[in-house]
A = this chain, B = another copy of it.
Amino acid sequence: MSNSPLHEYERVPEPTLRRLPWYLSTVKLLREKGEQYVSSTQISKDINVDASQIAKDLSYVKVSGRTRVGYEIEELIQALESFLGFTNMHKAFLFGAGSLGRALLGDSGLHQFGLEIVAAFDVNPALVGTEVGGVPIFHTRDFVRKMAELRVDIGVLTVPISIAQQVTDEMVAGGIKAVWNFTPFRIRVPEHIVVQNTSLYAHLAVMFNRLNCNRTNNHRQ
């Protein structure tokens, strides 16, 4: 990490960070098809995002295309994966080995995108001492000890909402720098702590509403 150039860590706008993985998956598909070069115009056609927007987003990645040829696909993939943090392994602890927590422990895809959950914590005696997806589950009171042992910056929060804030406070007090919050609870953290909210249930609510809107409109037509 210390050898990485500083310019990689400028604060990139969130919409850009959300679009870059689209470009990555698109150019990966082109590589599978044997292509060697790609232009922003071509990516634009494939995924229906404005070509100038794509060029602007890619300018953050410090990879430059060549006139008429475009971007070298292999170089672009490597630059994107590195830029997005998928090639550096980031260690994480998971808090709350309930249904969603265990589901995440079983998802090997996270590992492929740079997240390695090295331990989970729970208070349920039926879970403590077991493993899910190769990840050991410890009692929550062992967190401080494991924190001293392993260098971990990221905490994945999958506890019930009734203890979401309390566990967050303990994580932060123990030295966690970023919380990936899967609960539908809006946690509060000190300013220097990163929070990424991923509430599957909020996404469900948006999808249900859109689906019902379409139904209503169809009935009206």
User: When each residue 76-112 of chain A gets 1 if its CB lies under 8 Å from chain B and 0 otherwise, what string results?
Assistant: 0000000011101010000000111011101111100
Number of interface residues of A (CB under 8 A): 78
- Bound complex: CA of A26 vs CA of B40, how far in Å? 45
User: Counting CB contacts under 8 A, is A136 at the interface?
Assistant: no
Structural contact, A209 and B103, CB atoms closer than 8 A: no
**Chain B residue with minimal CB distance to A24?**
B184
Structural contact, B86 and A17, CB atoms closer than 8 A: no
User: Counting CB contacts under 8 A, is A206 at the interface?
Assistant: yes
Stretch from A62-70, A167-175, A185-193 that touches the partner:
A185-193
Tell me the dominant secondary structure on chain A's binding face: helix
Structural contact, A90 and B208, CB atoms closer than 8 A: yes
CB < 8 Å: which of B20, B213, B215 contacts A205? B20
Which residues of A approach B to under 8 Å, CB–CB? 1, 4, 6, 8-12, 14, 17-18, 20-22, 24-26, 28-29, 32, 47-49, 84-86, 88, 90, 98-100, 102-104, 106-110, 113-115, 153-154, 161-162, 164, 177-178, 180, 183-186, 188, 192, 194, 196, 198-216, 218
Given contacts A100-B107, A103-B107, contact A161 B207 (CB under 8 A): no
- Bound complex: CA of A192 vs CA of B216, how far in Å? 12
- Bound complex: CA of A51 vs CA of B123, how far in Å? 35
**Chain B residue with minimal CB distance to A101?**
B107
Given contacts A100-B109, A107-B103, A178-B210, contact A205 B29 (CB under 8 A): no
**Chain B residue with minimal CB distance to A177?**
B211
- Bound complex: CA of A47 vs CA of B184, how far in Å? 12
Structural contact, A154 and B211, CB atoms closer than 8 A: yes
